[in-house]
Amino acid sequence: MNIFQDWPEPIVRVQSLSESNLQAIPNRYVKPLSQRPNLLSENYHTKNNPHTAAIPIIDLGGIYTNDITLQAKTFDEISKACRELGFFQVVNHGMSPQLMERAKEIWREFFHLPMELKNMHANSPKTYEGYGSRLGVEKGAILDWSDYYYLHYQPLSLKDYTKWPSLPLHCRETLEDYCKEMVKLCENLMMILSRNLGLQEDRLQNAFGGKDEAGGCLRVNYYPKCPQPELTLGLSPHSDPGGLTILLPDEHVAGLQVRGSDDAWITVEPAPHALIVNIGDQIQVILQMLSNSVFKSIEHRVIVSPAEERLSLAFFYNPKGNVPIEPLKELVTVDSPALYTSTTYDQYRQFIRTQGPRNKSHIDELRSPR
């Protein structure tokens, strides 16, 4: 239920701009000085750079064994990672490297189809499903240097194959396999997070409206080469509005940066075959977490490259659209009153869909008055 039927301005594909060999990027993409990345001094060249993050790598193989000690150790590692940076990588996560590669290949092919074919899937702000080039509907807004494709995998009531790409051939089968594995991983992580907090293992899942009703959607980000990467961003700072995000990054081109505890931007260097996990705003609310405490949703952004395009697949696992999202009753006490007022995910996500990415300002609006 979006009141916006269409984009406020004609859509320009960033890929078309990039391929037209401009020397200078249009003003629409030039960020104010304070928001520009500082590519020269720190983050850009990731190898041997002190600002490149050693974000924790967790071997998830441990949770799938019968070795109880190893299982407990893995749970602890996840707990620690959630308490520290809030972003971590997982390996041995159950998804085969072949499937990950196939999924990336499909999307590389998709974004290199002729523009007329891609535009047959052009999206609108009504549901955002399909091929898009902006987040937010504010007229005259400064835009990000990226195109994307967005689709729903679950719940079944929202899954609509006509909104999925039709080419490359057989892409839907691969996407099915990929999303199915993603959901399995998310369900496992939801269980681990609950247990790590001493809650019933299905507690978080139930707060999301149960397994069948939880949302699962895929956003494929395509960041074309940019002639002036120092002036713009591929994706502006934001925290993910939903529950959990599992990112399949581009192993060849760095770009994702997370906001460290000292506010510096840290460039993530992904490990081979790793997936990157982070917590979204809904879990921060449900678990009654402050922005400066554990299990918070971390701010992140993406920088772009003058020499290489970059592709990433972000899978979002979200609460059912219309269940009330609020701090769990058992976490709210007289001494620790509810930090956030109740919302629904359908309501909450309207913010990013109309305003575009805006740091963590939305979750701060939900803070209970003191």
Q: Under the rule (CB under 6 A), what is the footprint of ligand OGA?
A: 219, 221, 235, 240, 247, 249, 255-256, 300, 302, 312, 314
Indicate whether 250 belongs to the interface with Ni ion (CB under 5 A): no
60 binds, among Ni ion, ligand OGA, none (CB under 5 to 8 A by kind): none
Here the tokens at position 114 are 């002729």
Cβ proximity to ligand OGA: between 185 and 302 the closer is 302
Which CB sits closer to ligand OGA, 256 or 277? 256
d(CA 177, CA 163): 17
What is the closest distance, in whole angstroms, from the C-beta atom of residue 332 to ligand OGA in the complex? 29
Rounded CA gap, 275 and 256, in Å? Answer: 13
Residue 309 touches which member of Ni ion, ligand OGA, none, C-beta under 5-8 Å by kind: none
Nearest distance from C-beta of residue 234 to ligand OGA, angstroms: 7
Comparing CB distances to Ni ion, the nearer of 106 and 235 is 235
Segment interacting with Ni ion, rule: CB under 5 A, options 125-133, 161-169, 236-244, 325-333: 236-244
For the chain, helix, strand, coil in percent to 5 are 35, 20, 45
For residue 72, the minimal CB distance to ligand OGA (Å) is 31
Residue closer to Ni ion (CB basis): 62 or 357: 357
Cβ pair 149, 165 in contact under 8 A: yes
Quote the least distance from Cβ 148 to ligand OGA, whole Å.
Answer: 8
Is 60 exposed, middle or buried, given 0-12, 13-18 or 19+ CB atoms closer than 10 A?
Answer: buried
CB of 6 to ligand OGA, least distance (A): 23
Nearest residue to 249 (alpha-carbon basis) of 257, 261, 240: 257
CB 325 within 8 A of CB 206: no
Maximum separation of any 2 CA atoms in the chain, in Å: 61
- Kindly state the DSSP code that residue 30 receives in the 8-state scheme: P
Verify binding: residue 240, Ni ion, rule CB under 5 A. Answer: yes
CB of 217 to ligand OGA, least distance (A): 11
Residue 144 interacting with Ni ion (CB under 5 A): no
- Closer CB to ligand OGA, residue 274 or residue 302? 302
The set of long-range contacts for 189-192, using a CB threshold of 8 Å and a minimum separation of 24, is 189/78, 189/244, 189/277, 190/243, 190/244, 190/317, 192/63, 192/75, 192/78
Are the CB atoms for 317 and 219 separated by under 8 Å? no
Closer to ligand OGA by Cβ: residue 238 or 320: 238
The smaller minimum CB distance to ligand OGA, of residues 13 and 219, is found at 219
Contact 88, 55 (CB under 8 A): yes
247: partner contacted, choices ligand OGA, Ni ion, none (Cβ within 5-8 A by kind): ligand OGA
What residue ranges bind Ni ion (CB under 5 A)? 240
